[in-house]
Amino acid sequence: MRLLEVIVKDKPEEIEKLLDENHVIECWTYPSDKGEKIIKILIQDEHASDMLAILEKSHYHRVIIYPIEGTMPKVESSIKKEDDKIRIGKFIAISKEELYHDVGEPVSLTVNYILMVVLSSFVAGIGILKDNIAIIIGAMVIAPFLGPNMSLAFGTILGDWSIIRKSISAGIVATTLALIISMIWGYAAGDLSEITFDPAINYQDILLALICGFAGVISVISGQGATLVGVMVAAALLPPLMRGGLLLGAEDYRNAINSFLIFIANVISLNIAGIVTFYLAGIKPSNWWEKGVAKKKTRTALIIWTIALIIIILSIVLIRSWN
């Protein structure tokens, strides 16, 4: 459930008219100290997005969204099941506005973000050199590499250039930092023959990354952020990047290229899966003119990512033919 607190500055009758039409469980109305009208609306998660989409079209109020852990007594929905039409975006549990906060805002080039990249890179490097799977998994959990890709997919589906720019900037900086650290480390280490190399890239790697992308977005839009830890581990973005940098620094170019291909394939697949899942969940701009721009950007992004994925697949074919 969600509690929507609507601070109405003008035309309260428009908001009150919505209360009988949008699956509202309960509502309370009272005046504020500033003479405004405050309407609190208790509504089920699956209907909160529809209500917010309607409220977003008006500029006469502000809406504050509260997640509800529970109520006493227990809420019994009066909505008949036959009234609920099954739609493809039904699995979404949180609103677009909450996704802005959860997915869009955290991806910023702050000191904390850069420190997390640097620290996770060192942890991953130690795990790779010691050939310790537990340490490598720990690096994947703390590494902030999944966020920029999910944020990029979210910004793409909305056509929001500010989120897209922040996501690309964060992703490039994180990748560059990890690459510089690993290359210097690999050059200083010299002999890396004792480490476990990445297995040759194959089609299963692409399928795994696509599945992780779907799972990651669904976990976010369902409000189950705890499951992202498993997605971070399964997606494996940092280890192949670090291993590729270490091998490149040690001048083992063949194995380095294979690790970089795995990293690039994972990034491409995560973005494709993210865009598709956000689209199927019904995430889109509210205004018609923004929808047109977003649709064009989404189409362009999917074409670019698909071409990149085809290039990766062709690379796999070439690598297999050489072997």
Question: How far from 99 is each of 45, 142, 231, 276, CA to CA, in Å?
Answer: 13, 21, 18, 16
Rounded CA gap, 120 and 275, in Å? 27
Task: Give the end of a domain, one of 83, 111, 134.
Answer: 83
Task: Give the end of a domain, one of 61, 83, 105.
Answer: 83
Whichever domain contains 10, its CATH number is: 3.30.70.1150
Q: Same structural domain for residues 66 and 101?
A: no
Q: How do residues 181-196 score in pLDDT, each as one tens digit?
A: 999 999 998 778 778 7
Residue 258 lies in a domain: yes
Farthest CA pair distance, the chain: 76
Residue-level pLDDT at 106: 61
Query: Higher-confidence residue: 87 or 2?
Result: 2
Q: How do residues 110-162 score in pLDDT, each as one tens digit?
A: 888 899 999 999 999 999 998 888 898 888 878 788 888 888 988 898 888 88
| Cβ contacts of 128 within 8 Å, gap of 6 or more | 136, 195, 196, 239, 242, 243, 246
Residue-level pLDDT at 126: 92
Residue 208 belongs to domain spanning? 96-322
Read off the tokens for 7.
């601070």
Task: Give yes or no for residue 282 having a pLDDT over 80.
Answer: no
- Sign of the Cα pseudo-torsion (275, 277, 283, 284, in order): positive
Q: Same structural domain for residues 296 and 163?
A: yes
Residue-level pLDDT at 84: 42
Rounded CA gap, 157 and 85, in Å? 24
Examine residue 73 and say whether the peptide bond preceding it is cis (omega within 30 degrees of 0). yes
Mean of pLDDT over the chain: 79
Task: Residue 223: count other Cβ atoms within 10 Å of its Cβ.
Answer: 14
Task: Give the end of a domain, one of 57, 83, 109.
Answer: 83
Task: Residue 322: count other Cβ atoms within 10 Å of its Cβ.
Answer: 7
